[in-house]
Amino acid sequence: MENKKLIVGNMKMNLTLKEVKSYIKEMEDYKDCAIVCPSSLYLSYFIENGFTIGIQNISEYNIGAYTGDIAPVQAVSMGIDYTIIGHSERREYYGEDDAMINRKIINALNNKLKVILCIGETLEEKENNMTEDKIKKQLLNDLQNIDSKLYENVIIAYEPIWAIGTGKVPNSEDIYTITKLIKETIKEKFSYEPKVLYGGSTNDNNIEELNKITNVDGFLIGGACLVPAKFIKIIETIKNNK
């Protein structure tokens, strides 16, 4: 994998078609700089316009009678390179547990989709000093039974749940410590060294500070990726520093 920092935009369930069209125009000069994950409805617009694309969710099943689902092989056939798996919103609102997340990861990897696996602790877990345990548990459960040749296609996004969409960001030292823990745990258990992204209230004002954390390999950006001016400022800051 190349050494450049990865910038991923998670658009979640946002934007109407009209807004998507103007977003694509405004991001024209930056489409090579980030992986954009729009609502699945709009994937083809982004693909036709030359963006590198991730899908926000993927089925644990292969092609067949699974109403409303999208199979990895379908995503790959559209030119989609990445899938987010295990986002805390999917875990919380759709009841996705580690066992399901593990099945989704295996299905995605077996069908040549790269995986961005999201993990992170709740505020309660943080306050009870359980962050380390939670992170390790998620990594060990979510990443088990994977063909070792495929591990290099897994990227980890550390997203403390209490930082998502709240404007609150952990201090740089804590992000450094957890990122290091993630890399060490994976190295020890699965013998590979993953890229680790940070996600949670990253914006155009705090990116300069966050970008200084030495072992963070990129960012998963929600709210701020929806506003081209903010997203472009984030991309520029990262590019100019690297």
Binding residues for ligand PGA, per CB under 6 A? 10, 159, 164-165, 199-202, 220-224
Q: Of 37 and 71, which CB lies nearer to ligand PGA in the complex structure? A: 37
Which residues are tagged catalytic? 87, 159
* In the complex, least distance from residue 80 CB atom to ligand PGA, rounded to whole angstroms: 18
- SS3 assignment, position 241: helix
CA 91/CA 51 separation, integer angstroms: 27
**Closer CB to ligand PGA, 220 or 238, in the complex:** 220
Instruction: Give the count of alpha carbons within 13 A of 26, CB side only.
Output: 15
Report the SS3 class of residue 104.
Answer: helix
Closest by CA to 43, choosing from 57, 28, 33, 53, is 53
Query: Which H helix or E strand runs over 74?
Result: helix 72-77
* Tokens (6 digits) for 237: 């800051």
**Alpha-carbon distance 86 to 27, whole Å?**
27
Smallest separation, CB 103 to ligand PGA (Å): 22
Q: Which CB atom, from 57 or from 201, has the smaller least distance to ligand PGA?
A: 201
CA dihedral (60, 61, 67, 72) in degrees, to 10, reads: 80
CA distances from 196 to 71, 136, 157, 201 (A): 25, 14, 6, 16
Closer by beta carbon to ligand PGA, 194 or else 223: 223
Cβ 111 to ligand PGA shortest distance, Å = 23
